[in-house]
Amino acid sequence: MRLKAPLIAALALPIPATAHPHIFVEAQVTVVFDDNGAMSVKLDWFYDDLFSLLVTSDLGIDMDGDLLLTSDEQALLDEQITAWPADYMGDLEVTQDGEILILAEKRDHSMTYVDGLFHEAHVRPIAALADPASPLQIRVYDPSFYTAYELRGPAIVEGREDCTVQIIPADIDAAYALAESQLDGRDPSTVGPDEYFPAIGDAFADTIVVTCADPL
C-alpha cells in the first residue's frame, strides 16, 4: 500500500490495523527569511518509536539494535526518501487571505536516526506572496488524516525580528463530528487503514499565524 506520509511517501509499509489515524508525527515549523527577503518554511518531522521500528524492519537497517546506522544503511535510507510520489503534496499548506500559496520543490532534505527514532527535515520555498502586507497562515496536515501531526512547539521565525507568531488550535470535537457526519454516523476512530475516510484532515490541523510589522 502506498502511504501519503512524509517518511514513507516512497515506501510501502505494513501498518498495524489500528484506528484512524495510523501514523503520529510531531512537527516543528520554522519560517525563514533570507538576506534578500525571500521566504521559506523549514519542516522538521519527528516520528514515534513504533513507526520508526516499522521503517527499520522494512528497510532491514539497524538490525543489530544498536540504534546506529552504518554508512551503507544511511545511504539506503537517503535513497528511499529522496523522491516523493507525484501526487504527494508534502502535507503543508501556506495561505494568505484565504489564497493557497504556491510552494517550490523541497530542498535540503535529510533523514537522521537518533536513539531509535527518525527525524526528517526539509525546506519548502514560498514561490510568491499574495499580499506582502497580510499575515501568513501555515498548517501541517495529511488531507486523509492517515497521519496525525502535532506541533512540537511554537513556530520559529528566523531572519527577522519584527514578526509575531500565534497558534490557533483546531477544534478537535468539531473535526470528529464532521468526520462522523461524512461516515454516515460511524465512529471515525473505528476506521481501518484500508477503509474510506473523508479528506478532512485540515479540520484537525492547528493554524500558525505569522504577522510582521513591516511587509513580508
Q: Are 209 and 165 in contact (CB under 8 A)?
A: yes
Kindly tell me the sign of the dihedral angle through the C-alpha atoms of 210, 93, 44, 75: negative
Backbone angles phi, psi at 152, to 5 degrees: -75, -25
Q: Are 32 and 43 in contact (CB under 8 A)?
A: no
Asked whether the predicted pLDDT for residue 28 surpasses 90, the reply is yes
Q: Which three cell numbers stand for residue 113?
A: 536516526
Q: Are 138 and 41 in contact (CB under 8 A)?
A: yes
The percentage of residues in the chain with a pLDDT greater than 70, rounded to a whole number, is: 91
Q: Give the mean pLDDT of 49-78.
A: 91
Task: Give the DSSP letter of residue 188.
Answer: G
Q: Are strands 92-96 and 39-47 parallel, antiparallel or unpaired?
A: unpaired
pLDDT value for 102: 95
Q: Supply the mean pLDDT for the chain.
A: 88
Q: What whole-number distance in Å separates Cα of residue 78 and Cα of residue 7?
A: 10
Q: pLDDT tens, 34-49?
A: 988 899 999 999 998 8
Q: Which three cell numbers stand for residue 60?
A: 532491514
pLDDT value for 6: 54
Q: pLDDT tens, 62-73?
A: 999 999 999 999
Task: Give the DSSP letter of residue 103.
Answer: B
| Single-letter residue type at 178 | L
Residue, of 35 and 207, whose pLDDT is higher? 207
Query: Per DSSP, which regions of 55-199 are E strands?
Result: 92-96, 99-100, 107-114, 117-125, 136-140, 147-151, 156-158, 163-168
Q: Give the mean pLDDT of 158-187.
A: 95
- Model-level pTM greater than 0.95? no
Q: Which among 214, 213, 202, 212 has a CA at the least distance from the CA of 98?
A: 202
